[in-house]
Structure formats: C-alpha cells, structure tokens
Chains A and B, each alone.
Chain A
C-alpha cells in the first residue's frame, strides 16, 4: 500500500465524476473511509519514506512519520464527519471534486518529502480554497475569491523566492538534505530564505501581520466551507510552517519572534472580535486567535507545550466544525449573520452545542479545550516563559467577553422562533459535542498520541 494513494485516489475519483452520476455522496464517503483505513494500516510501520521516481537529485519522496500520519488521519476524519453531516442532501459535483482535491492536496502537503512538491500541493490547495470560497456564486463570494487569490498570489511569489534561493544554495530539493545543509549557507542568505518562507507560509498559516485578509474571506464563503477552512486547511498550513521550521533548526531568537507574532495575533484577533457584530466574522476572529495560541505553543520547543498544541489542533478542528455547522443552521433559518440572530432562536439543543463549543474554545473544564490549554500553559511555565502564560490568560479573558455575550443573548427574554433541526443532524452534531466532553474527561489516550507527535516534530531533521 503506497503513500501516493492518499493523493492519487481522491484525484482519480474526481476525474471519474461523470461516471458516478447520482451516487456521488456514497462514493465520496466510501473513498474517504477507505483512505482512513489505509491510514490506520500504516500505524505500526512508521516511519516510512517512499521514493516515487528517478534518482537524485530529481527524486520525489513521500515521508510518513507519526506527525504526518496524525494529521492525515485528522483531516480525513474531519472530512468524513463533514460528509456524514451532509449525507441527506444531494451532493453537487463541485463539492465532490473540491472535497477530493482538498484531501489530496492537504495529504500531499503533509506527506511530501521534498520542498518543491510542497509548493505544488500548496498551489493545489490554494486553488481548491479559491473555488470553495466562490461556491455561493454571489457578489460576496466572488469578491472574496478575488481577494483570496490576490493574497494567495503574493504568498506564492514569496514562497517561490524562498524555494528558489534554497535550491540555488543547497542544490537539492529533498527536505532531509536541506535540513542537513541549511546551516552551511551564509547567514544573510539564510535570513532571506527564512523571511521569504515565513511570509509565504505565514500568509496561508494566518499569523499576524499576514492574516488581515482572513476575516473577509470567512464572511464571503458559506459556513460549510468555513468549517472546512477552519478545521482542515489552516491546520495543514500551520503544521507545514512548523515542520519546516523545526527541520531547518531555526535558532532561539527566531522562535521567540514567532511566539511574539503569535501573541500579537491572539491579542489583535480577540480584541477585534469584541466589537464585531457579524457572527461569521466573530468565528473567524476566534479561529485567528486560536492560531495565535498555536503559534505560541508550537514555537516554544517544549515537549509538553507541543503536546498541548496538537491536542488543541484536534479539539479546535472538531469544535469549529461543530460551531460552523450550527451557525449554518441559524444563518439559513434567519437569512442573516448579524449577532442578533442569537436572540431570535429557541432551541435548547443549539444552546447546549454553542455552550460546549464556546467553553471548550475558552479552555474551561471539564471540556477538551481545557486539557489543551493547561498542557500548553504548563509547558510554557516549565520553560519559564511567564509573560506568554500571562498573555494567554489575559487575552482568554477578552475572548470570554464576546463568547459569553453570545450565550447571554440566547437567554434574553425576547420573541423567539423555534429552530427545526433534523434528528440526523442532531445526532451528528451531538456526537461531536459529546466527543469534546469525552476528551475533557478522558484525555489520556489522545494525550499519549499527541506526545509522540510532539517528539517526532521536535526530532524532525535528525535522521
């Protein structure tokens, strides 16, 4: 069983779309389920390096270590949950093709073993994202898609600059060789490369000051697409960012710089969310804030903090999937995404979903988000980054203001219409919420997995 299947099977299925006619959603589910099984079959066999073609220096290789496998499984699982949610609706061809492309490109990003392949998958993922943004086909969607493309083109240019400099100075595209030889380049070129890569990957990873475009895009796309962006796409780019960072053994000062950018990300995003009146934008700000926290945690270099970061990635993906799908229900029912829809609906189920989602994002026990947060904070305290600990706690308080404002609106005494949610949707969303609670009470197994992922990331580049 080859690693290429993660990339080729979904793309092949996309090409065969006309053949599948009306059974698209079942084919899609079957495809992703089999990919998930394939991923699980690799569990005992790590690490794997698969060389696809010719000899060096042209070789294209796919590398599977525990971090990549973790992310592949996470992405495919989230996609399966997403597809299961939509199973009662007919699947349009675009969704079929785009979800396949998304999984293919994101798996490629995570599995790829040479830097140019990463660029290719980076571009494929970007194209998928552009089209996903425009799916609504209205003015906002196209406006958002065009803006996204402009930002994406800037990112490609910087990324290409970085990759070209790497090849010019090292002469190989393979990540392993680059990791070995990177320190031999002279330092000003190193800086140039690192900055180009930072901007190229950072625009997509949505870190301050490169994330000013994100919120508009979330407003432009439909909520289902936002769920995919928030859960899958941004996590892939963040992992990629730090995978490369740890591979290149960047030194303490640069890690400190990344942490600072993370803190500023978190602070600016959460503060901006305070005065926002549009629910989609609020969720977008929240995503940016959590990405800031991830940057702080992932750049610390501490085992425990990284464990917490990966735990947070899992939690955040599921939570944002659940929250955006719930928001979708509200937005379609009321036709508006302004904040006052929270005072117009009556549904205990939705209130509980939102409550679990928000409390988990804030890191309040006994939900999963708390485990992630305390692991991150413990790791940061261990390496004595006390300012980071304080910053995270204070800004979380800011986050609490607007989340609880939304919850408070659901309890206000106003004219309320009942919300119709089908039983099937309730089951899917409810099981996501239950999973979040479960992870808060019994986090041990996932923590162990995240710990091994953290070790593999920290040891990246040492072959």
Chain B
C-alpha cells in the first residue's frame, strides 16, 4: 500500500507543499513577530524550508546518497546529484554564521537599551 506513496512525483509534490508551508511560516514569523530573537529564528526556519525544497526536489526514489567510500570511488548514476547537497551544506554554514552574528548584535543591543522589541527600536530616523 505504501508503494503508491513511494513514487517520485508524489514525493516532490509533498516536498513542495511542505516547504512552501514552512517558508510561509518563516516569512510570516519574520515579518510580524516583535521579539528580535523570534524574527531571526523565523528567518532560519524560512531558510530551512528552502533547503528542504532544494534537496527534496533532487531526490528520486531508488537513488542513493552521493557519498564516496573506500569501495565506491566514483560518482555513479544511481546516486543523487551531489551538487545541490554540497551547495546546501555550504549555505547552511553561512546561515549559521549569519544567525550567530545576529544573535550577538541582539545581545549587545539589549545591553545598551534593554529593548527586545523591533517596534520600539527608534534610535534611527529623521529627527534623531
């Protein structure tokens, strides 16, 4: 029975819908939440959605992860395309770095102003 779910197009559709939902959650969170931490975590969620989408769309049923070992020294055709995986790994690293940087900014900002709400950030503007 589960074979009908184990088809590539179905998988792709599920991934598409799922990642779109997560992207929506992430963007909505980023654009409506007031707490600074929540905004950046929401961005992380949105980026996760993109990662899932990308990897998922390259996955085909019956294929293997593109990992080379002592025995398998060449990329073969029953492996999934390795390029997106490499791309996403790099992107995840970048996203982590950016997130860490943002958190450090938030901490420093809080130390100076005791403010965690993005609405109350009024230091910049025409009359300051």
Contacts and interface: CB of A to CB of B under 8 A. Distances in A.
Interface of A: 57-58, 116, 119-120, 123, 126-127, 130-131, 134, 137-140, 142-147, 149-150, 152-154, 156-157, 160-161, 164, 167-168, 173, 216, 219-220, 276-278, 281
Interface in B69-128: 82-84, 86-87, 90-91, 94-95, 97-98, 101-102, 105-106, 108-109, 112-113, 118, 121, 123-128
Contacts of B58: 168
Contact of B108 (A137, A157, A277): A137
Contact of A120 (B50, B54, B90, B127): B90
Nearest to A58: B83
Given A139-B112, A157-B43, A146 B84 contact: no
Nearest to B57: A168
A160 B91 contact: yes
A137 B101 CA distance: 14
B121 A127 contact: no
A76 B82 CA distance: 36
Nearest to B53: A164
B43 to A, nearest CB: 4
B121 A277 contact: no
A66 B90 CA distance: 30
Contacts of A150: 30, 39-40, 43, 118
Contact of B123 (A58, A127, A140, A276): A140
Contacts of A139: 109, 112-113, 123
A126 B90 CA distance: 16
Contacts of A156: 47, 95, 98
Contacts of A153: 30, 40, 43, 47, 98, 102
A130 B89 CA distance: 23
B34 to A, nearest CB: 12
A367 B49 CA distance: 51
Contacts of B98: 123, 126-127, 149, 152-153, 156
B124 A146 contact: no
B124 A149 contact: no
A344 to B, nearest CB: 19
Contact of A142 (B83, B108, B125, B127): B108
Given A139-B112, A156-B47, 15 more contacts: A58-B83, A120-B94, A127-B101, A134-B108, A143-B113, A143-B124, A146-B118, A153-B30, A156-B95, A157-B47, A173-B83, A219-B128, A220-B124, A277-B126, A281-B126
